[in-house]
Structures are given as structure tokens and as C-alpha cells.
Structure 1
Amino acid sequence: MRKMLQVVAISAALGLLHAGPASAQNRVTYKSAKTETSYYQMGVQIAEAMKAGTKGDIIVTLEESQGSTQNVMEVRARGGDYVFTAPPPLVESAQSGSGPFKDKVDPKFTEIRALFPIPSLTMHFVARGDKGINSMADLAGKTVLLGKGTFGATEGEKYLKLFGLEGKVKLADAELSNAVGALKNGQIDAFVTAGSWPAPNVIEAAASTGVTVISLTDAQVKETGREKLTIPAGTYAGQKAPIQTTSLPVVAYATTAMKDDVAYALTKTFWQQKAAMSSGAAWWNGVDQSLMPAITGKIHPGALRYYKEAGFKLNPSQM
């Protein structure tokens, strides 16, 4: 009897050893944005998708971030389990030591590699529907809320200058979080926001107040130097026609310190789970293979393996 128990114990131990590699769990830290933003909610969805798609083999822990610059800077002190989001031009700045990374060059910046695109930062110029504002020119003489310290605020200010509206628009001194209430109460005529589409604050404004989201002309889009993006008709309440605007691509990145198998699993699971994520949040509908050219730097070797298997078209500079 004792001998039989020993045999059973040894067999069980061998079984556990055999099962070990297949059930190995990889923990990944995902750093994106502030908790109140849509990009943080995307991180929640990605974490859930990774757990479901890998049957728990990949566990993603979310970290709040103060912005993309911080995300990139933290590469210097992070290891192979670090995933973060940023616009590709910002990563280029880090690698060239320009912009916010001037005099902050670090060898680890050269190790940054892309995994997959996420919803782009999309510009929205949102006006009250009863103010007769149908173009950028119609904003002249109106009160506009840009917000402070955000990509949308900086970009919105840039567009007002580009389109000859500097000094012709009254800028509201308020936070973007107050935009919907201020629009509804008539304190402002329009606000500017940048985020994924559909944008939660634009959905709320359209439902509660009735809004016009201004379309840019082809010439205006070209003048901004940004990517052209079309928001489909019907995205917001009362929106009968497509909206032409601009966007800044956003990508999930890791570094060469991440194991190829982990990068492969993250990328494969993301694309396989995207349809399920889209059923829970429409902003994932804007993510498809057409965003791949926006990845201007190199793609992680593990992610590359998936893209080649799946037949994605890639540029030589991405490999």
C-alpha cells in the first residue's frame, strides 16, 4: 500500500511538472491615461480581453498615467513586462532627443517597439445645434471652451490660429470636464475635445442638448498636418452626415526586453478579441488594418510573427 501511494505521488508530481509550462502565467503592466478618460476604460477592456483570450495565461494590471510623455519616460526604469500607450510621433521624439525629450536622451528609448494600434485621438469641434455653427468660420464671435493641459486644448488652439480665428473667439476659462453642463446652460457656444470616437462627452452633449460636430474641409485637414479621419453618419444623436476631422494615431508599445512569445500572445489576442471588445464599446470599430501604416517605428519581433501569420501588410521600415 505504501509503495502504491509513493507511485501515485511520483506520478502526480510528474504530471504537475509536465503541466507547468502550459499553465505559466505572464503578468503585464499596462499604463495609458488618467482613470476618468476613455483610454483608461480601453485599458480595462484590454485587460479583460487578455485574461479571457489566453484563459488566464496573461494577466494585465492597469496603472493610471498623467499622459503619454510620462509613459515613454518610464521606459528607462521598467522591464520586459511594461506595456504603454503613446502617439508614434512622441516615440520618435524620444528616440531622436527632440521635443519634450530634449536633453533627456536615454539608450532605452531605442528599444521601444510597437505591438498594436488602439483608437486614435480624434478632434471634435462640438457646437450647440441652435447656434447656426456649421463651419470653423462660424465660430467667430462665439464662446469656445478648449480646456487646459490636454492634447485637444493644444491642438484646438493651433487650429484656431491656422484658420484665422485667433482673437475672434472668446475662450472660456473652465475645465473640459465642465463642457457639457456649460454648453447645456448656454455659458458656452462650443467646446473642443480630443479622444476616441464615439467620445463619451460628445454622446452626452448630443443627447442632452443637440449639437453640431463641425466637419473640416480637405484644405483645412491638409493645413493641420494631421491624419484625416471620417466619423460615420449616425455616430452621434442627430448626426445625419459623416464628419470629416483629424486624428493622431495611438499605439500600444513594449520594449525589446519583452519576450517574443509574450509580445506574440498579446498582439494575437488583441486582434482576436477586438470584435468582442467592439460589442462593448463602439470606439474599437475604428481600429482595423488601415491603422497599421500609422506605426512609423519598428514593431516588436513577437508581434511581427503574428502579423506575418495573419497576412497583415507591413512596411519594410516596421520590421
Structure 2
Amino acid sequence: MNKKVVALVLCVFMFAALATGCGESKKFVNIATGGTTGTYFPLGGALADIWNKNIKGMNATAQSTGASVANVNLLRDGKVEVIFVQNDIAYYAANGTESFKDKKYEEIRGFATLYPENIQIVTRADKGINTLADLKGKKIAVGAAGSGTEANARQILEAAGITYNDITVQYLSFGEAANNLKDGNIDAAFVTAGYPTAAISDIAAQHKIVLIPVDDATADKLIQKYPFYAKDTIPANTYKDQTTEVKGVAVMAMLAVSSKMDEKTAYSLIKTMYENQERLKAAHAKGALIKPETGKKGMGIKLHPGAEKFFNEQKK
């Protein structure tokens, strides 16, 4: 009888040990992206797919969110492990400025910068808006309240001598802005995302669009005050019937994590991401720009040690 009891106890302990071992080997990684019509969402889905297929015990999922600012707060609250974020918003968070004034988040760490995110200012051709000055007195979608796009819109308008008092502000996501512009309920929208952006392509499929340029003088004034911006252009034929290139400005899309993520996990995630670029390219054209050699370009915050280890290896 005693032998049976001992055997039973041993079985229970062995089962518990196995269960514990399985729990420890499973890695859950939640990825905060952005709206479903932006660029973050498809790339986030591709990242989850890459990590699940190539890292043993990985359980990665991508979720649609309110993008940059919302993502930083999700990371701070421990609800996600990896976030897509604009480099300007990451800088604000790390330094406690702008949308993060009095809400400094010192534990945010850079993972990798990905590609330029152009601030695209779109309107319909029948609205008669061709310059930033023409936006005065109009209904303008500036992005979701507190989003990175909203900060970009406010700063660009400021550089152009326009305040929110000069326009009727509409706080709308990319998808909401696209629908309202198609229906004629608003006059123009700011969209910060890698081109081509699904929301703008959606408008262009139904209406002739105009991309409003940011002239050199305005761009210079903007960059002088906010050095994380860079001049960039949207090539001709990016969208239907857009026959000329459009001058503008851009920030960098990047990935960020918490300093609490262990170095081994971070290293494994970043190494696997760069080893599977074809999957990123298949998800979105911007995937072709996600390369190790540009992974620290525009990085305005501290790098996570796991990412730093990976980039140091690339120099050898």
C-alpha cells in the first residue's frame, strides 16, 4: 500500500514539474500596432507570424490600437510587450514632454527603427485646397485625440502659421477620416503612415485626391524646432491619378519595448525579425525598408540591451 502511495505522489510531482516546465517555456508577446487601415497593423501581423513560426514556445499576437501614444501607455501598463510607435512620440515619453508632460516613462527602450513615416495631408480635388494656407477655415481631421498623428498635425500647422483656432478640428482615426472625406463631411485629413496607406488608397479609389505639400520654408521652420522631423517626398504614382511627387516631412516608425524585457528574449525577437524580411515585404511594401543597417537611424531613446547586442554583432 505504501509503495502505491509513494508512486502516486511521485506521479503527481512529475506531472506538476512537467506542467511548470511547459508554462515557463511558453513566451507570450502581445504586439500593439495601430488602426486596421494603417501600416502598423499588417506589419504587426507579419511579426507575430514570424515569431510564432521561428521561435520555440512563442505565442505572439498583434492587436489593433489607437497607435503611438496609446501604445506607449499599454507598454507602461504591462498590457503589451512590443509596440509600434513614432520616434517623436517615443522621445516625448522618455523625456516627459508634449503628450507625456508630467507622465515621463523612463523604462521605454528602443528596439529598432523601421522606415520613414510621411505626414500625408490628403484632400479631394473638388475641395479646392492646394496649400497649407488653404486649410484655414476648413474641417480638418488631425488624427485620433492624443495620437502621434495629432501631434504632427498641430506642429506642422504651427510652422505654417495656423492654429487650431483657424480650423474646425476633427479628431478621427485614419479609417474614420477616410470615410468622412469620401462622404464630404470633412475637407482634409492628416495621415502619418508609410505610403501607400490603405486609408488614402481607399479615398483615391472613389475620388480624385490631392496631397498637400509642405513647402521648404515651412519644413525648415518645423525641423528647427522639432529636430526629429526630416524632409522627404511622396513619389509620383504612389496613389491613383497622383502624377507628380509631393514634398513633405517624415518621422521614423520604430519598435519599442520595456526595459523589463529580458535580454535573451529581446535578442531572439530582433534577430528573427531581420532574418525573415521576405515575410515583412509580403505584408506591406514598407517591409522592404526594414533592414539591420538602418535599424538605429533616428533612434532618439536608449536601446534595449538585447537589441544593442544584435546591432553590435552586425559591425563585426
Please, what TM-score do these two structures have when normalized by structure 1? 0.73
Q: Distance in 1 between matches of 2:171 and 2:164?
A: 18
Q: Distance in 2 between matches of 1:112 and 1:153?
A: 21
Q: Deviations over 1:217-276 (max 9, x none)?
A: 222222222222322322211222332222232321223432322212211121222232
8 Å contact from structure 1 (residues 231, 243) kept in 2 = yes
Larger CA deviation: 139-148 vs 222-231: 139-148
Which position in structure 2 is the counterpart of 1:242? 245
Which position in structure 2 is the counterpart of 1:305? 309
- How big is the alpha-carbon RMSD for the aligned residues of Structure 1 and Structure 2? 3.6
**1:48 Cα deviation from its structure 2 partner:** 0.9
Q: Distance in 2 between matches of 1:191 and 1:95?
A: 28
Matched, 1:113 2:109: yes
Q: Residues 48-127 of structure 1: matches in 2 within 5 Å?
A: 48-54=49-55, 56-76=56-76, 78=78, 82-104=81-103, 109-127=105-123
Unaligned runs of 5+ in 2: 1-17, 224-228
Q: Distance in 1 between matches of 2:77 and 2:176?
A: 36
Of 200, 203, 223, 1:202 maps to 200
Matched, 1:31 2:35: no
Which position in structure 1 is the counterpart of 2:256? 253
Matched-pair identity in %: 25
Unaligned runs of 5+ in 1: 1-16, 313-319
Q: Deviations over 1:28-74 (max 9, x none)?
A: 222233556542332212101222344x5433133454443443345
Q: Could you say if the C-alpha distance between residues 196 and 308 of structure 1 is closer, same or farther in structure 2, counting changes exceeding 3 Å?
A: same
Q: Could you say if the C-alpha distance between residues 131 and 271 of structure 1 is closer, same or farther in structure 2, counting changes exceeding 3 Å?
A: same
Q: Deviations over 1:72-110 (max 9, x none)?
A: 34555539x8222333444444444444444445xxx44
Q: Distance in 2 between matches of 1:124 and 1:198?
A: 10
Of 196, 217, 220, 1:219 maps to 217
Q: Distance in 1 between matches of 2:77 and 2:199?
A: 35
Which position in structure 2 is the counterpart of 1:190? 188
Q: Deviations over 1:167-217 (max 9, x none)?
A: 896537574544334434444443222223211111111221011212222
Which position in structure 2 is the counterpart of 1:171? 168
8 Å contact from structure 1 (residues 83, 254) kept in 2 = yes
Which position in structure 2 is the counterpart of 1:273? 276
Q: Distance in 1 between matches of 2:102 and 2:165?
A: 37
Q: Give the paired residue count.
A: 289
Please, what TM-score do these two structures have when normalized by structure 2? 0.74
Q: Distance in 1 between matches of 2:164 and 2:297?
A: 37
